[in-house]
C-alpha cells in the first residue's frame, strides 16, 4: 500500500515502474511524431499530447481485460496502455497498407472493438454516445465490464456529451466519464467553455459523483479512476473525473499556441508529470539517474527504429478496390417465406408483429427510443411490447437523438441487435453527426460490422406541417456506409425489416407515416425476408418504366392503371431498397421499355431520383427513345395548409400528364 498524495494506491513495484515506462515510451513516441510532422515528413493532422502523459496513463491503467476504452484524438498514449503497439500506431500515422485501418484513416484514429478499444473519430466527442451504448450492452448481457469514456474539456460543451452523460446517469450504466482539461480547446480557454469552476462540477446536474484530480500526478489519476471503475462495476452507476493538466504544444502540430501566456506555460512546465513521477520513484528507491537515462534512451531508440520501419512499409494499392468496401458481407443465406400469402393487415401491424416475433426469437434484440415503452411510440407501433419483454428490452431513453443513435451503435458493436426508433424522419438531422462519423464509417474503419437497425417515420400527407413531414431518404442515401430501405406494403414492411435485422450492416428503415394504416395487404407467414438490394416489379409493362418507392408506388400504380385505359403499358418498379440499389432490375426494365420516369416524394436536388436519372442517361443512353423525366415536389419545405400540401406531393394525375407529354411512340 503506497500513499500517493492522499490517495491510497495498491500497486506493486513492478506496476509502479510499468506506469513510468508507459509514460516515457509515450512521450518518446509523441516527440518523434511531433518532430517528424514539423519537418514535413508526416501527413494528416497531429494532435500532440505531450505534457498529458500522467492523465492518459493513470486514468486508463485501472481498466481490466473485459473493460472498454473510448478515447479522443489526443489519446495516443492511452491507446498504448490498452495494448496498441508502437508498430500499429506508426503504420496508421504513415497510412500504410498493413495499418489497422488499411490506410483508410490516419493519425491516432484507431479502433479495436474486439480488444476493448472503441474507434476514435472526429469531431469530438463522437465516441462518447457509442461508449454509453457499449456499457448498456455489457449490462444487458450480464458479462460485467466497465467503459471509460474520455475527452477534453472543450468537448463537454457539446450536446452529444451532455446527452450521453444524461442517458448513462438515468439508466445507471457502468461508465466512467473522464475529462482531460488541458486548459484550452484549441485556443479557447476553459473560462470560455463553462461558467462552473470545472467540468466535473457538472456532475451535480446529472445526479452522479464528480471529482477533480491533479492530472499531472499519475498515481492520483489512477487512484480516482480505480475508485470510479470499481463503483461502476459494482452497479453504482457512472461518475465524472476531471484531470487538470496542460498540453505543452498547440492543438495540432502546426499550432504554435501563441495564445498561451508565457507565465502560465512556465508554471505548468515546472510541474512536468514525468519529472514529478521520477522524483516519487526516486524517493522510494525504485529509480536512479542511471536507470532513468537507460529507460529514456531505450524508449527513444525503439521509437526511432519503429518509425524508420513503418515509413518503409508498402502503401495501400488503389487498385485493390478496398477503399470502397463499406459493407460487411452477410454470412447466412436469406431465409425464404413459407408462404407469400398471409392474413390481411396494415403496415403498422406488419412492423409491430415483426418486432414481436424477432424479440421472441432473439434475446439480443432490444428496442431503443423515445416514448416507445408505455406509449408504444408516436404511432403506436411498439404498443404492448414492453408488457411482453420488459423495460430492459423496450427501453425509453431521455430525449436526445445523438445519444439515441450513438447508444444504439455502441450496443450493436458490443453484441446486441438494437432497433432504434426516431419518431419523425425530420429528427434524423439531430443524429447525423453520429450517423456520419460513427455508424457509417465504423466497419470501413475497423473491419468490425455494425448490425444496427434504425426505424423512422417519414412523409407528407398527414397534415403535420413543415417540421414532421420530410422524406430525407436522399440525405441518408448520400452517406457511404448506410443502407436505406423504404417499404410500400405490409409484405414489404415485414420483409425489409427482417432483412435489415439479419444484415450485419447499419440499415435505416424509412416507413411512410401515411401508409401505416391506410394500406392493407397480406402479411406473409414465416420469415418472408427481403434482403437490402432487391427491387420489386409491381406491374409489368412494355411502353415505359416508372421507378419509385414508398408512398409513390401507389401513386404510380394508379397512374399506370389510368394510362392502360389509353393503351399505354407502364411497368412499375418499387425500388424498396435505395442503398444498395437493385440496378440490374432497373436496367433490364429500361432496356425493355426504352423510356423512364422516376417519381419520388423527396425534393429533387441531389436526390435518389437524380442518381437514377444520371446513371441511366450515362449507361443506357442509346437504349432510350426519349428524355428521362423526374416527377418530384418543388425544392421546398412541406407546407401545412391542406391545399398547399396536396399540391406539393406528386399525384397520379401528375404522372399521367408527364407520361402523355413524354409519349410512347
pLDDT higher than threshold 70 for residue 491: yes
Q: Which triple of cell numbers denotes residue 336? A: 425464404
Average pLDDT over residues 416-432: 95
Taking the C-alpha atoms of residue 485 and residue 329, their distance in angstroms, rounded to an integer, is 18
Mean pLDDT of the chain: 93
At 338 the pLDDT is 58
At 324 the pLDDT is 60
Residues with Cβ within 8 Å of residue 226, at least 6 apart in sequence: 9, 62
Taking the C-alpha atoms of residue 588 and residue 327, their distance in angstroms, rounded to an integer, is 25
Q: Is 405 exposed, middle or buried (0-12, 13-18, 19+ CB in 10 A)?
A: buried
At 465 the pLDDT is 86
Average pLDDT over residues 31-48: 93
At 663 the pLDDT is 82
pLDDT higher than threshold 90 for residue 221: yes
Task: Report H helices in 522-604.
Answer: 552-564, 583-593
Cβ atoms 427, 403 nearer than 8 A: no
Nearest CA among 646, 648, 650, 531 for reference residue 598: 650
Cα distances from 466 to residues 214, 470, 471, 632, 641, in angstroms, run: 50, 7, 11, 17, 10
pLDDT band at 647 (very low <50, low <70, confident <90, very high): very high
Cα separation of the two ends of the chain: 92
Taking the C-alpha atoms of residue 89 and residue 102, their distance in angstroms, rounded to an integer, is 12
DSSP assignment string, 63-92: --TT-EEE--TT-HHHHHHTT--HHHHHHH
Cβ atoms 17, 278 nearer than 8 A: no
**Residue 515, SS3 per DSSP:** helix
Q: Which triple of cell numbers denotes residue 165? A: 452523460
pLDDT higher than threshold 60 for residue 190: yes
**Residue 240, SS3 per DSSP:** strand
Taking the C-alpha atoms of residue 70 and residue 35, their distance in angstroms, rounded to an integer, is 27
Count the helix, strand and coil residues of the chain and give each as a percent rounded to the nearest 5: 45, 15, 40
pLDDT higher than threshold 50 for residue 8: no
pLDDT band at 665 (very low <50, low <70, confident <90, very high): low
Cβ atoms 343, 523 nearer than 8 A: yes
Q: Which triple of cell numbers denotes residue 36? A: 517528424
Average pLDDT over residues 418-438: 94
Q: Report, in angstroms and rounded to the nearest whole number, the Rg of the chain calculated over CA atoms.
A: 28
Nearest CA among 30, 20, 29 for reference residue 54: 20
Average pLDDT over residues 518-543: 95
What's the pLDDT tens digit per position in 539-564?
Answer: 999 999 999 999 999 999 999 999 99
What's the pLDDT tens digit per position in 594-624?
Answer: 999 999 999 999 999 999 999 999 999 999 9
**Residue 233 parent element (H or E):** helix 218-233
Domains located in the chain, CATH noted:
2-313 (3.40.50.970), 344-522 (3.40.50.970), 536-662 (3.40.50.920)
At 362 the pLDDT is 95
Separation of CA 657 from chain center: 43
Taking the C-alpha atoms of residue 101 and residue 109, their distance in angstroms, rounded to an integer, is 8
pLDDT band at 101 (very low <50, low <70, confident <90, very high): confident
Give bridge partners of residue 394 from the DSSP assignment: 367
Task: Report H helices in 437-596.
Answer: 442-446, 473-477, 490-502, 552-564, 583-593
**Residue 604, SS3 per DSSP:** coil
pLDDT band at 340 (very low <50, low <70, confident <90, very high): low
pLDDT higher than threshold 90 for residue 655: yes
> What percent of the chain clears pLDDT 70, i.e. is strictly above it?
97
At 229 the pLDDT is 98
Residue 315 has a CB neighbour count (10 Å cut-off) of 10
pTM for this predicted structure: 0.94
Q: Is 141 exposed, middle or buried (0-12, 13-18, 19+ CB in 10 A)?
A: middle
Cα distances from 379 to residues 64, 360, 423, 506, 531, in angstroms, run: 43, 22, 8, 23, 25
pLDDT higher than threshold 50 for residue 3: no
At 108 the pLDDT is 79
**Residue 181, SS3 per DSSP:** strand
Region class of 465: left (phi > 0), else alpha (psi between -120 and 50), else beta: left
Cα distances from 68 to residues 135, 176, 235, 407, 411, in angstroms, run: 9, 10, 16, 15, 13
pLDDT higher than threshold 70 for residue 138: yes
Task: Report H helices in 106-239.
Answer: 127-141, 159-171, 203-206, 218-233
pLDDT higher than threshold 80 for residue 123: no
At 321 the pLDDT is 58
Q: Is 637 exposed, middle or buried (0-12, 13-18, 19+ CB in 10 A)?
A: middle
**Residue 344 parent element (H or E):** strand 344-346
DSSP code for 208: S
At 6 the pLDDT is 42
Q: Which of 40-49, 325-334, 427-436 has the lowest mean pLDDT?
A: 325-334
At 1 the pLDDT is 27
Nearest CA among 638, 13, 632 for reference residue 291: 13
Cβ atoms 344, 521 nearer than 8 A: yes
Q: Which of 114-128, 287-301, 565-579 has the lowest mean pLDDT?
A: 114-128
pLDDT band at 4 (very low <50, low <70, confident <90, very high): very low
Amino acid at each position: 500500500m503506497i500513499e500517493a498524495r492522499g490517495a491510497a494506491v495498491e500497486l506493486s513495484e513492478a506496476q509502479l515502474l510499468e506506469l513510468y515506462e508507459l509514460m516515457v515510451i509515450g512521450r518518446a513516441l509523441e516527440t518523434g511524431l511531433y518532430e517528424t510532422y514539423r519537418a514535413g515528413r508526416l501527413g494528416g493532422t497531429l494532435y500532440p499530447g505531450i505534457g498529458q502523459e500522467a492523465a492518459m496513463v493513470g486514468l486508463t491503467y485501472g481498466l481490466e481485460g473485459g473493460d472498454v476504452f473510448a478515447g479522443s484524438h489526443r489519446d495516443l498514449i492511452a491507446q498504448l496502455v490498452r495494448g496498441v503497439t508502437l508498430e500499429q500506431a506508426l503504420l496508421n500515422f504513415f497510412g500504410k497498407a498493413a495499418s489497422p485501418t488499411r490506410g483508410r484513416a490516419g493519425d491516432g484514429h484507431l479502433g479495436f472493438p474486439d480488444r476493448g478499444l472503441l474507434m476514435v473519430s472526429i469531431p469530438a466527442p463522437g465516441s462518447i454516445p457509442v461508449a454509453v451504448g457499449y456499457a448498456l450492452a455489457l449490462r444487458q448481457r450480464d458479462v460485467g465490464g466497465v467503459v471509460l469514456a474520455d475527452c477534453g474539456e472543450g468537448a463537454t460543451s457539446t450536446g452529444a456529451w451532455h446527452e450521453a452523460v444524461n442517458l448513462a446517469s438515468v439508466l445507471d450504466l457502468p461508465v466512467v466519464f473522464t475529462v482531460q482539461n488541458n486548459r484550452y480547446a484549441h485556443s479557447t480557454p476553459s473560462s470560455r467553455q463553462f461558467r462552473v469552476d470545472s467540468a466535473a462540477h457538472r456532475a451535480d446536474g446529472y445526479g452522479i459523483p464528480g471529482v477533480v484530480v491533479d492530472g499531472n500526478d499519475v498515481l492520483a489519476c489512477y487512484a480516482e479512476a480505480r475508485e470510479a471503475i470499481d463503483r461502476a462495476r459494482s452497479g453504482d452507476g457512472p461518475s465524472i473525473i476531471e484531470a487538470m493538466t496542460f498540453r505543452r504544444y498547440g492543438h495540432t502540430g502546426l499550432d504554435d499556441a501563441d495564445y498561451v501566456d508565457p507565465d502560465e506555460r512556465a508554471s505548468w512546465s515546472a510541474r512536468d508529470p514525468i519529472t514529478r513521477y521520477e522524483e516519487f520513484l526516486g524517493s522510494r528507491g525504485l529509480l536512479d539517474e542511471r536507470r532513468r537515462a537507460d529507460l529514456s534512451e531505450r524508449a527513444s531508440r525503439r521509437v526511432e527504429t519503429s518509425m524508420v520501419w513503418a515509413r518503409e512499409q508498402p502503401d495501400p494499392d488503389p487498385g485493390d478496390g478496398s477503399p470502397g468496401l463499406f459493407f460487411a458481407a452477410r454470412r447466412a443465406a436469406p431465409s425464404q417465406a413459407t408462404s407469400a400469402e398471409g392474413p390481411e393487415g396494415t403496415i403498422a401491424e406488419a412492423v409491430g408483429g415483426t418486432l414481436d416475433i424477432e424479440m421472441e426469437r432473439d434475446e439480443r434484440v432490444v428496442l431503443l427510443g423515445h416514448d416507445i415503452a408505455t406509449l408504444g411510440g408516436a404511432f403506436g407501433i411498439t404498443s404492448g411490447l414492453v408488457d411482453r419483454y420488459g423495460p430492459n428490452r423496450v427501453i425509453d431513453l431521455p430525449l436526445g437523438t445523438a445519444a439515441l443513435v450513438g447508444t444504439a451503435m455502441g450496443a450493436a458493436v458490443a453484441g446486441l441487435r438494437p432497433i432504434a426508433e426516431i419518431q419523425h424522419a425530420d429528427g434524423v438531422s439531430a443524429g447525423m453527426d453520429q450517423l456520419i462519423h460513427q455508424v457509417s464509417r465504423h466497419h470501413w474503419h475497423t473491419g468490425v460490422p455494425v448490425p444496427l437497425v434504425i426505424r423512422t417515420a417519414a412523409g407528407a400527407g398527414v397534415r403535420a406541417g413543415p417540421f414532421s413531414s420530410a422524406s430525407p431518404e436522399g440525405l441518408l442515401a448520400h452517406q457511404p456506409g448506410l443502407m436505406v430501405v423504404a417499404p410500400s406494403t405490409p409484405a414489404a414492411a415485414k420483409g425489409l425489416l427482417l432483412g435489415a435485422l439479419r444484415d450485419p450492416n447499419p440499415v435505416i428503415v424509412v416507413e411512410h407515416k401515411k401508409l401505416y394504416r391506410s394500406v392493407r395487404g397480406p402479411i406473409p407467414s414465416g420469415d418472408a425476408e427481403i434482403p437490402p438490394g432487391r427491387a420489386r416489379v409491381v406491374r409489368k409493362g412494355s411502353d415505359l418504366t416508372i421507378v419509385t418507392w414508398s408512398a409513390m408506388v401507389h401513386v404510380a400504380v394508379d397512374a399506370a392503371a389510368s394510362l392502360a385505359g389509353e393503351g399505354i403499358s407502364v411497368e412499375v418498379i418499387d425500388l424498396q431498397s435505395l442503398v444498395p440499389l437493385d440496378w440490374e432490375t432497373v436496367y433490364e426494365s429500361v432496356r425493355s421499355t426504352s423510356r423512364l420516369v422516376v417519381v419520388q416524394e423527396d425534393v429533387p436536388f441531389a436526390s435518389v431520383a437524380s442518381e437514377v436519372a444520371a446513371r441511366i442517361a450515362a449507361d443506357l443512353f442509346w437504349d432510350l427513345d426519349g428524355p428521362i423525366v423526374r416527377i418530384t415536389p418543388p425544392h421546398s419545405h412541406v407546407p401545412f395548409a391542406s391545399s398547399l400540401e396536396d399540391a406539393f406531393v406528386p399525384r397520379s394525375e401528375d404522372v399521367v400528364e408527364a407520361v402523355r407529354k413524354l409519349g410512347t411512340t
